[in-house]
Amino acid sequence: MAERSATGRPSPGEEVSHDVVVTRDMLAILLGRTVHPVYGTAWMVRHAEEAGRLLVERHLTPEEDATGYRIDITHLRPARVGQRLTVTARCTFADEDQCVCEVEIHGPAGPVGRGTFVQRYIEKGALGS
C-alpha cells in the first residue's frame, strides 16, 4: 500500500517522542508478584500508546477522537529501575480512517523495544465522555 496522508492527519515521517524513567511500579509484575526486576512489557505497551496518542492528538478536530485499534510490540532488552527511556512514534501511513505508527523505545544500552501501533479515528464521544 502506498503511503499517503489526508488533510488534518499526521504525515508519513512525522514523529513524536517522550521520555519516561523506569520506576519500581513499572517492573514486570504478574498476578501481584514481581516476576522480573525490569521494565515490564505491559508498561512498554502503555508508553507506546501514549506516544502514538501524542502524534495524532494535535491533528484532531474538535468533533473527532482516536482510539487504539491494534498494537504489536517486541521487547528486545531489559531496562532497569532509574533508566531513562525515549519512546518515539513515527507515522508510516495515515488516511481519513486510521494512523499507523512505528514505535521505538530506546534506553542507555540501545533499543529496548519496537513495534507498530494503529489508531482509528472516531467521532468525539462515541465511546462515552
Split at pLDDT 50, 70, 90, the class of 8 is: confident
pLDDT, position 82: 98
pLDDT of 91 above 50: yes
Strand 33-39 versus strand 110-123 pairing type: unpaired
Q: What is the pTM of this model?
A: 0.91
Mean pLDDT across the chain: 94
All three cell numbers of 23, joined, read 520506576
* Span 46-86, pLDDT tens digits: 999 999 999 999 999 999 999 999 999 999 999 999 999 99
